[in-house]
Amino acid sequence: MATIPTITLNNGVEMPQLGFGVFQVPDLAECAAAVTTALQAGYRLLDTATAYQNEEAVGRGIKASGVARDEIFVTSKLWVSDFTYERAQRGIDASLQRLGLDYLDLYLLHQPYGDTMGAWRALEEAHQAGKIRAIGVSNFYADQLKNLELTMTVKPVINQIEVNPWYQQPSEVAFNQSEDVRVEAWAPFAEGKQGIFTNTTLQQIAQAHGKTTGQVILRWLLQRGITVIPKSVHRERIRENQDVFDFTLTPAEMQTIAGLDQGKSQFFDHRDPVTIEQIFGASLKDLK
Ligand code: NAP
């Protein structure tokens, strides 16, 4: 079983470069089993969220794996319905309780909406109290990230954003990297949209290396200095997705994949007022 290399975050904490995501695994038994499979296959980074409603199953999967807690890097996220200082304090404790853990390795503000500053202050305090080893954000554009950095005390270690061959976000990735905020790609496979696994360009590159298209995509992200958290509930794919550290894409292949960029999110534009209403509007009743 090959060891997954780590990187050092801007606060000195070490984090695996590749992990396991559990979005859209609502069946809790399936989720727990997938987490156990992933840990036993060698994954050491897990990515869940309050909004995924499966933190409890992730906790169960960890326990069943037999892997020691201190070998695992557990990430969860606070949902927008808890974006006030007081609600965030409770939200952090609730995540810990559901996961059955006494600390989190990384906790993220899931979206850039509402009282992010109040919520961030609660994350800072939990970090200082030793409940969370590192704190970060998700779906923050450069201006929102800069605003948070300038307003608050602790700098985010991570910004988890959508990055995949169809939506490569070169300027956002470069900005985060210039700020020493690690980019973590969600939906690295664009959730399979537009036939990504059978794309001819990616297939040709995969063939040249004796790899799969999924492995080529993950390798391309890693070579851009991006952390990846692919999701699968299938044992063979779980294994396949972590087997990406024994080959290197050439500069020409990296360029070819850069040419696939469509410059558009495959899901939603986080700056679109309609999206903001959809994601955040439903939470307002909880915040009043
Ligand atoms: P993804 O990883 O891009 O794609 C997952 C899909 O690809 C699933 O349908 C999976 O099917 C399939 N798949 C996985 N490996 C495969 C392979 N080797 N060959 C063929 N098909 C394969 O999508 P995602 O789950 O949305 O993103 C990854 C993680 O990012 C999430 O799980 C979550 O932790 C995080 N995320 C965060 C945000 C955010 O706002 N911060 C948003 C979305 C996701 P099977 O499961 O059936 O194998």
Helix (H) or strand (E) holding 73: strand 73-78
Question: How confident is the model at residue 283, as a pLDDT?
Answer: 87
pLDDT bin (cut points 50, 70, 90) of residue 284 is confident
Q: What are the Cα distances from residue 192, in Å, to 96, 166, 172, 199?
A: 32, 11, 23, 10
- Confirm whether 52 is a catalytic residue: yes
The pLDDT tens digits of the residues spanning 137-174 come to 999 999 999 999 999 999 999 999 999 999 999 999 99
Classify 237 as helix, strand or coil. Answer: helix
Where in the chain are the domains? Answer: 6-285
Residue 105 clears pLDDT 80, i.e. is over it? yes
Single-letter residue type at 192: G
Ligand 1 center from residue 255 Cα (angstroms): 24
Nearest CA to ligand 1 atom 2: 230
Residue 68 clears pLDDT 90, i.e. is over it? yes
Question: How confident is the model at residue 286, as a pLDDT?
Answer: 83
For ligand 1, whether the C-beta of 233 sits within 6 Å is yes
Across 9-35, average pLDDT: 97
Question: How confident is the model at residue 288, as a pLDDT?
Answer: 77
Residue 183 clears pLDDT 70, i.e. is over it? yes
Could you tell me which CATH number the domain at 6-285 has? 3.20.20.100
Closest C-alpha to 218, from 239, 200, 235, 195: 239
Question: Which residues, including other chains, have CB under 8 Å from residue 174's CB and lie 6 or more apart?
Answer: none
Question: How confident is the model at residue 287, as a pLDDT?
Answer: 84
For ligand 1, whether the C-beta of 189 sits within 6 Å is yes
Residue 2 clears pLDDT 80, i.e. is over it? no
Please give the number of the atom of ligand 1 that sits closest to the Cα of 186: 30
Q: In testing the pocket of ligand 1, which one of 20, 186, 194, 266 has its CB within 8 Å of the most ligand atoms?
A: 186
Ligand 1 center from residue 115 Cα (angstroms): 29
Helix (H) or strand (E) holding 76: strand 73-78
Pairing between β-strand 20-21 and β-strand 14-16 as defined by DSSP bridges: unpaired
Residue 85 clears pLDDT 90, i.e. is over it? yes
Question: Which residues, including other chains, have CB under 8 Å from residue 255's CB and lie 6 or more apart?
Answer: none
Q: Which of 163-172, 203-212, 277-286 has the lowest mean pLDDT?
A: 277-286
Question: Which residues, including other chains, have CB under 8 Å from residue 275's CB and lie 6 or more apart?
Answer: 268, 269
Across 81-87, average pLDDT: 97
Residue 208 clears pLDDT 90, i.e. is over it? yes
Please give the number of the atom of ligand 1 that sits closest to the Cα of 214: 18
* Percent of the chain clearing pLDDT 70 (strictly above): 100
Across 127-145, average pLDDT: 98
pLDDT bin (cut points 50, 70, 90) of residue 1 is low
Nearest CA to ligand 1 atom 30: 186
Question: How confident is the model at residue 251, as a pLDDT?
Answer: 98
Question: How confident is the model at residue 238, as a pLDDT?
Answer: 98
